Amino acid sequence: MTTALATDPLYLEHRSDGHPERPERLRAILDQLERTGLRERMVELAPRDASDDEIRRVHGGAVLERARELAEAGGGWADVDTFVNVESPAVARRAAGGVLAATHAVLRGEATNAFAAVRPPGHHATARQLMGFCLLNNVAIAAGAALDAGLQRVAIVDWDVHHGNGTQAIFDADPRVLYFSTHAAPYYPGTGRVEDSGIGWAQGTKVNVPLPHGTSDAGFVAAYEQVCVPALERFRPQLVLVSSGWDAHARDPLAPLMVTTAGYTRVARLVRDAASQLCDGRLVVALEGGYDEHALAWCASALGALLLGDEPEPDPEPVVPPLRVPSVEAVIEAARRVAGLASPE
């Protein structure tokens, strides 16, 4: 089993003082991969930029133009949350290129799976709008490239605490893309209702599980066991892409879920095993959110171990899940019903 790693020092140049989407996030991940010896066992991919054609496959020209205008003005804000500095357009192009490089390495058989440790994140960026810390939708661009390469079924699994509104909107009418998301609700950006299941021929290929605030490991894992894996099994993807936000972690300062490193590890194992069963292990995981450096480091090293076929090293500072958590049974049953999945025996 070969695991590729796509990362680049350029990703550290996108920054704004005091903003939670900061270079230290990526440094924590890479330092942990080196400390555990996982990085040296991965095949590092050569940096590349996403081309204009690859970007325009999912984004209109307005996205690139807006980022360029802000950068040429010395930096500014695309919205109340999303900054652009002088380096940001180049960094975003390289981040999308990192996920593309990882995807093509897997599709060409040069790697079984891959981790794209990139920033800025991407899943909120829509076809025409920068938003939610995101400039270019890295995973959507990679999915578009995979479809252009001849794949007929691509699955995107999004375990960020926020719904990937941009990703779903880009592929909402495309039946070749299964989009599955767990996310806190109500919460930013306010999308991702259970009923939002796709448009036209794509109806049923978009599966949302909005989790109540306070959901911990049991509910989070149940959503993947009872909804995500059955949806993947029915769809039978040729490639699985993951929007990996680790901000549903109980340590995260921005989010209202209570998932632990162990819970994230169980979900990563489920998705890895599904990819192994359904598409010869072709799996690409791309970094999205997550704003606690300890949680990022230990979730990333657990993921890296799983991709390499190892048993992850446990988090040395585990968070104890709360004793009282909200029930997720109703939302899981609703998600299964809307997706047309049979009730479990």
Tokens of 160: 């960020």
User: Nearest Cα to 220, choosing from 278, 157, 164?
Assistant: 157
Residue for token digits 């959507």?
140
User: Nearest Cα to 116, choosing from 288, 302, 295?
Assistant: 288
Q: State the Cα–Cα distance between residues 40 and 186, nearest whole angstrom.
A: 41
Cα 77–81–85 angle (5° rounding)?
A: 40
**Catalytic choice (124, 162, 163, 183):** 124
Host H or E run for residue 278: helix 261-279
Question: Strand pairing partners for 207?
Answer: 180
Q: State the Cα–Cα distance between residues 59 and 67, nearest whole angstrom.
A: 12
- C-alpha distance from residue 97 to each of 136, 139, 148, 159, 183 (Å): 10, 10, 16, 22, 26
CB burial of residue 13 (10 Å; 0-12, 13-18, 19+): middle
Tokens of 329: 């049974």
Active site residue 213: no
Tokens of 157: 């699994």
| Active site positions, annotated | 124
